[in-house]
């Protein structure tokens, strides 16, 4: 029956774990007493769900994934913290997501419809938005904040406390040391801002007229002939009718632990590479 929960006899589900309808737990899985699995969650095999971890309905987790292990944070004192994963996430082989730490937010949060390829890692106290894709071996350090519809190429890595705005694209083997503006495209081992994620913007349904406005705003904001404050003030006035531009400016003005990435010296990358993984 579609709503029947099936637990393989070689799996361990500790007393107290909450299982929704239609959950499927394969052989050699381990589900902790504090875990919550929503309706139709599937653990294929050899999956560890540890600590106070909850998975939203429709998630599928592949072998060797470990969700809810203790944070790799020396400041953590061992208190109860959580990992919350949203609905319909696909979590492939060897993925790791850690609990929050009790000296910080005490929770790690992952949104809906995530696509986490093999051996990706989400560290303690991260906040990851909806519809995020992380290609193989992409890594988030602690306290990273990721907006909706962000794509990470394989072997990319975000330094702790960085922020990555919605609809941004992080190229493969890219190091993220600074905040990335919404719609930004970061590439290279030193994480240079190479322009805007044009293909991602098109795929999101953004009108071409708005994309054109954003590209003009990008050039105005990062014009090196004036100070950044002057550029931002001028852009705020010039593009006052563009919600997308105002969103980028609000992100840049908001407080963060890191500075934000600026364009590389070669200017905007005009290539049409959409960063498919």
Burial 33-63 (b: 16+ CB within 10 A, else e): ebbbbbbbbbbbbbbbbbbbbbbbbbbbbbb
Q: Is 272 a catalytic residue?
A: no
DSSP SS3 for 136: coil
Q: Is 102 a catalytic residue?
A: no
Cross-strand partners of 108: 83
- Measured CA to CA, the distance from residue 173 to residue 189 in angstroms comes to 6
Tokens in use for 233? 């003030």
Q: Which residues contact 243 (CB under 8 A, 6 or more apart)?
A: none
The active-site residue out of 125, 148, 179, 269 is 125
Alpha-helical regions (H) of 132-241: 198-203, 208-221, 228-238
Asked if 269 contacts 194 with a C-beta cutoff of 8 angstroms, the reply is: yes
Q: Is 223 a catalytic residue?
A: no
The active-site residue out of 124, 159, 166, 167 is 124
Q: How far apart are the first and last CA of the chain?
A: 36
Asked if 183 contacts 244 with a C-beta cutoff of 8 angstroms, the reply is: yes
Give the helix/strand (H/E) hosting 217: helix 208-221
The active-site residue out of 26, 38, 114, 142 is 142
Surface-to-core class of residue 208, CB atoms within 10 Å of its CB (0-12 exposed, 13-18 middle, 19+ buried)? exposed
Phi/psi at 115 (5° precision): -130, 100
**Could you list the active site residues?**
124-125, 142
């Amino acid at each position: 029956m579609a709503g029947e929960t099936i637990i393989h006899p070689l799996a361990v589900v500790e007393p107290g774990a909450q299982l929704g309808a239609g959950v499927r737990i394969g052989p050699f899985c381990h589900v902790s007493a504090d875990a919550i699995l929503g309706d139709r969650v599937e653990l294929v095999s050899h999956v560890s769900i540890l600590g106070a971890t909850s998975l939203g309905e429709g998630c599928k987790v592949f072998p060797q994934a470990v969700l809810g292990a203790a944070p790799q944070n020396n400041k953590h004192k061992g208190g109860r913290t959580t990992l919350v994963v949203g609905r319909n996430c696909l979590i492939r082989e060897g993925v790791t997501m850690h609990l929050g730490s009790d000296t910080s937010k005490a929770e790690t949060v992952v949104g809906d419809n995530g696509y986490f390829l093999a051996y990706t890692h989400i560290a303690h106290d991260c906040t990851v938005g909806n519809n995020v894709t992380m290609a193989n071996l992409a890594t988030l350090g602690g306290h990273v904040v990721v907006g909706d519809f962000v794509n990470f190429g394989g072997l990319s890595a975000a330094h702790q406390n960085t922020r990555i705005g919605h609809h941004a694209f992080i190229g493969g083997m890219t190091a993220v040391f600074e905040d990335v503006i919404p719609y930004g495209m970061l590439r290279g081992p030193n994480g240079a801002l190479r322009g805007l994620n044009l293909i991602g913007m098109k795929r999101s349904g953004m009108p071409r007229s708005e994309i054109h406005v954003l590209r003009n705003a990008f050039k105005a904001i990062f014009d090196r002939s004036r100070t950044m404050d002057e550029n931002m003030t001028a852009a705020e006035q010039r593009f006052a009718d563009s919600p997308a531009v105002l969103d980028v400016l609000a992100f840049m003005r908001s407080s963060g632990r890191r500075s934000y990435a600026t364009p590389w010296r070669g200017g905007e990358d005009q290539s049409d590479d959409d960063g498919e993984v």
